[in-house]
Amino acid sequence: MLKLQGERIYLSVLERKDCKELWESFEYDFENPSEPLNIGHSVEKADDWFNEIQKLQGNKNVRLGIFLNDGTVIGDVALQDIDCQNRSCTIGLGLHKIENRNKGYGTEAVKLMLDYGFNHLGIERISANTLEINNFARKSLEKLGFVLEGREREAVYFGGKKYDKHNYAILASEYKSAK
């Protein structure tokens, strides 16, 4: 079983019970919104999410749970839309409780996935998108060496407002030279 060990967290395969726990514990941060709010999804939807993960795992995605060193699951991180021909993919992250956000867990998880993607999968470009108002994500991406490549103006509408989407990427050569 794949396990990527960090300092304060580790990444490992998500089991059905982990998906259910993450689904049930998700807290939306109305003061620092990061994504549109999904309203009306039942707990049973967690099974659909688990099944989707299994269908795409190792094929188009590598999605792992983020666990505190004591074994508590706190989120998930994924290399998604893996394109073997162009050696590229995107990265996505979710920390499911507000109390675990902005503590460096997400940055540590992304760092572990960058290392795995660049050094074990042979990926040469990893991109990430975030909303202009998600200051935590933007700072974390920049800290890890991602470069802002563009902005999609008024690309996302939710909460009665339009937001720009920021497009970031990091190349394997940039990642390896920064280490």
The b/e string for 138-160 (b: 16+ C-beta within 10 A; e otherwise) is bebbeebbbeeeeeeeeebeeee
Mean pLDDT for 141-152 is 97
- Distance in angstroms (rounded) separating the CA atoms of residues 131 and 128: 10
Strand pairing report for 125-131 and 88-95:
parallel
**Model pLDDT, residue 25:** 86
pLDDT tens sequence across 61-104: 999 999 999 999 999 999 999 999 999 999 999 999 999 999 99
User: Which of 79, 51, 87 shows the shortest CA–CA distance to 63?
Assistant: 79
**Model pLDDT, residue 37:** 60
**Model pLDDT, residue 152:** 96
**Model pLDDT, residue 34:** 67
Q: Is the pLDDT score of 7 beyond 80? A: yes
* Residues 169, 37, 44: CA angle, nearest 5 degrees: 105
φ/ψ of 103, rounded to 5, equals -120, 5
pTM: 0.92
Most confident range, picked from 33-37, 106-110, 132-136 = 106-110
- Split into its structural domains, the chain has a count of 1
Give the chain's radius of gyration (CA, Å): 16
**Model pLDDT, residue 39:** 61
φ/ψ of 25, rounded to 5, equals -95, -5
pLDDT tens sequence across 20-63: 999 888 888 777 766 666 666 677 888 999 999 999 998 899 99
Q: What is the CATH number of the domain that holds 9?
A: 3.40.630.30
- Give the residue numbers spanning the domain of 28: 3-178
φ/ψ of 58, rounded to 5, equals 80, -10
